[in-house]
Chains A and B, each alone.
Chain A
Amino acid sequence: MNDALIVRRVLAGDVNAYALLVDGHGARLLGIISRHVPPDRAAEVAHETFTRAFEKLDTYRAESPFGHWLVRIALRRCADFWRERARRRETVFSALGPEALNWIESIPSDASAGGLDVLAEQNEAGVLLDWALGQLAPDDRLALTMTHMEGQALAEVADLLGWSLAKVKVRSFRARRKLRDLLGHLLER
């Protein structure tokens, strides 16, 4: 049964049919969300996404795939997650913990030194990445993650976020510059 039919069934009162949508899209959605919020919070944001989608189900128009519509809601929830967090943001480097700060010391300045793959696999890289991304404005973070980290096309990002192409370019450029500033300060510390 296709998604549009399931949506119609749910709207007609068969609430249990919604489980088919959660089952069909859950894993993919969680994968997307986990690239935008810390992995330990991804399931919570995915849960919120599905409940929010249920509340707004009558606004879904079957013109675009249901998964596409769901991803848009998920991305908005991710932005909300960071907005909420920005209110109590900690910019102090000590919030990183001594392990991550020591790990930064092991970054070589010479590109030919190699070993970057090994460093990237270490847990501290994830801690630092989540911390640095958490310092960015929610929209900047979304743009940076989707363009630079996931390598999505600018037009695709613009479509998913409902932004103009120019906005995606500006946000993504600005976010990368901010990230570099943050990392630069961290190295100078």
Chain B
Amino acid sequence: MDDGRLDQLEQVLLLHARGRKPLALPAGFIDGVMREVRAKAGARVDFWSVFAFAARRFVPAGALAATAAGGYALMSERVLSQALLTLSLHGSNGAYLVAGLLP
């Protein structure tokens, strides 16, 4: 390969890159950006208003579900404690008693 020519070609391309004139903003650039920005801002507001509306509607059902889940967890915890106590008192024979306790 002719290294001299390669150096010259590289030099020409560097000169061209450095000599590139900065572009002017095209007409309507700011308007175009702002149109999209406003649409995005609107979509963001829409999302949160829909979310808040849905959240308000589901608050009673959510509260009921949370209470039921809490109650079930409490009952299961009590049964498990009883089962462990039975097993520790009666050893392997307690398995029958435990089976009777399980919901």
Q: Assess whether A46 is in contact with B29, with CB atoms less than 8 Å apart.
A: yes
Stretch at the interface among B31-39, B60-68, B77-85: B31-39
CA distance A54 to B15 in the complex (A): 36
Tally chain A residues at the interface, Cβ within 8 Å. Answer: 50
Which of B8, B9, B11 has the largest number of chain A CB atoms within 10 A?
B9
A22's contact among B2, B11, B24, B34, by CB below 8 Å, is which? B34
Q: Is A55 on the interface with B (CB-CB < 8 A)? A: yes
Q: Assess whether B33 is in contact with A183, with CB atoms less than 8 Å apart.
A: no
Q: Assess whether B23 is in contact with A31, with CB atoms less than 8 Å apart.
A: yes
Residues 2-25 of chain B, each 1 if its beta carbon lies under 8 Å from chain A, else 0:
101111111111111111101111
Q: Assess whether A125 is in contact with B24, with CB atoms less than 8 Å apart.
A: no
Q: Is B41 on the interface with A (CB-CB < 8 A)? A: yes
Known contacts A15-B38, A18-B34, A47-B33, A183 near B9 by CB under 8 Å: yes
Q: Assess whether B23 is in contact with A43, with CB atoms less than 8 Å apart.
A: yes
A51: chain B residues within 8 A (beta carbon): 33, 36-37, 40
CA distance A46 to B32 in the complex (A): 11
CA distance A151 to B40 in the complex (A): 37
Tally chain B residues at the interface, Cβ within 8 Å. Answer: 34
Count of A-B residue pairs with CB < 8 Å: 117
Residues 112-155 of chain A, each 1 if its beta carbon lies under 8 Å from chain B, else 0:
01001101110001101100100000000000010011110000
A54's contact among B4, B9, B32, B40, by CB below 8 Å, is which? B40
Q: Assess whether A187 is in contact with B19, with CB atoms less than 8 Å apart.
A: no
Q: Is B54 on the interface with A (CB-CB < 8 A)? A: no
B15: chain A residues within 8 A (beta carbon): 116-117, 120, 125
Q: Assess whether A128 is in contact with B34, with CB atoms less than 8 Å apart.
A: no
Q: Is A4 on the interface with B (CB-CB < 8 A)? A: no
CA distance A93 to B64 in the complex (A): 70
Stretch at the interface among A65-73, A101-109, A162-170: A101-109
Closest 5 CB pairs of A and B: A120-B15, A31-B22, A125-B16, A109-B5, A149-B17
